[in-house]
Amino acid sequence: MDMSHPYAQLLSRDPIRKSAASDGAEAIFRTTASEEAFDRPLMKTRTITDPKTECSRLPTTNKPVMIDEMEYGCETAISIPFGGQPVNMYMHLPVFVTTFSRIVSGRAYDDKDNLLMFSGDIEQFFYMLLLREVSDREVRQFVGTMDLACGDVDDATSTGSTESGSVAYANIGAASLTSLNDMMKSMASTYGNLAPKTLLMNNITVWDVNPLVTTDNAGDDLASRTWLEGFKAIPTLNGPDLMVTMKNKVIKTDDVYILADPEHLGRLYILEDAVLVNESRAWFLDLFLYTTLGGSLPNAGAFRKVKFGGSFAGDFELASYAGT
């Protein structure tokens, strides 16, 4: 086989070729992970280059941690349980602590002879086997932590509701111009009175929004572009940026997350970005991928969740909210 082929380089006994191929795969992972894991652009993300100088150490652990000051008026910070660590809430402290944990993909085993006959490119091969799994685990933990704080739909007793004074997960009725305007009230009703920065929804829900961009509602130019290009022609919706993810197993259909700007929403620290480990033994190739992250959502008033469906009571105040 041609030794310029990426699989031949990865399986080569020549350490120079094998190292070059492995480095190339890691570069693909690092770039693609940032694109596929939508939590990274949504939060204030920082890559740790020197843990000894940038991180702190607590008396309770030898592992590095990050310590940030709470915003005025916030009482609870929720850590994102990357790697399966428990969710922690740091109550009534002037700081919140972000710890690190590791996300590891499952191991991928394959016969070298099968790889020699693989017709796809190396990026797609590794992406399908490893990167998608790690990326899904990362965003599931991010979304799951928001879901924990937001509670059940129309529930006024969730963490996010009681801490901010506004219903955190509300049913706003079917998608319409009225409900799109109503959802913008959700974050303005909290103690922080923050402005929405991003609307996050999946690639199914967005098609409920798409028909609203008509000539009457949006003008001829945007309406015609939307008809020809679909929702990709809509960069913003009622002011906030529109973010659409294909991960509809993570973001449920009919749910829309309303998020503040990264500075207020949370912290995401990357201790080790995507690292590929590969081992060639006899006729088997053994591959897995890992990354080490730490994240926290310190502000219960920086994210809200709404659901299209049913009817809407009209406001998000706890004292008067009636649900559907």
Kindly state the average pLDDT of the residues 126-133: 74
pLDDT score of 9 more than 60:
no
Give residue for tokens 């990026």. Answer: 123
| Res 1: pLDDT | 43
Using CA atoms, how far apart are residues 313 and 307, in angstroms rounded to an integer? 13
Antiparallel, parallel or unpaired: β 65-69 and 89-91: unpaired
Which one is predicted more confidently, 103 or 20?
Answer: 103
Query: Which residues on neighbouring strands pair with residue 269, listed in sequence order?
Result: 46, 294
| Res 60: pLDDT | 82
User: Which pLDDT tens digit goes with each residue over 231-286?
Assistant: 887 888 888 999 999 998 999 999 999 999 999 999 999 999 888 777 777 877 77
User: Which pLDDT tens digit goes with each residue over 283-295?
Assistant: 777 778 899 999 9
| Res 3: pLDDT | 47
Q: Which residues of 293-319 are buried (b: 16+ CB within 10 A; e: fewer)?
A: bbbbbbbbbbbbbbbbbeebbebbeee
Using CA atoms, how far apart are residues 250 and 248, in angstroms rounded to an integer? 5
Band (17; pLDDT cuts 50, 70, 90): low
| Res 21: pLDDT | 65
User: Which pLDDT tens digit goes with each residue over 294-318?
Assistant: 999 999 899 999 999 877 777 788 8
Map out the domains of the chain as residue ranges: 6-308
* Nearest to 44, CA basis, from 8, 68, 75, 76: 68
CATH of domain 6-308: 3.90.1690
Cα–chain center distance at 8: 35
pTM: 0.84
User: Which pLDDT tens digit goes with each residue over 192-216?
Assistant: 889 999 999 999 999 888 887 877 7
Using CA atoms, how far apart are residues 241 and 134, in angstroms rounded to an integer? 26
Residue 164 phi, psi dihedral angles, 5° rounding: -115, -10
Find which of 25-29, 183-187, 238-242, 304-308 is predicted with most confidence, using mean pLDDT: 304-308
Which one is predicted more confidently, 323 or 38?
Answer: 38
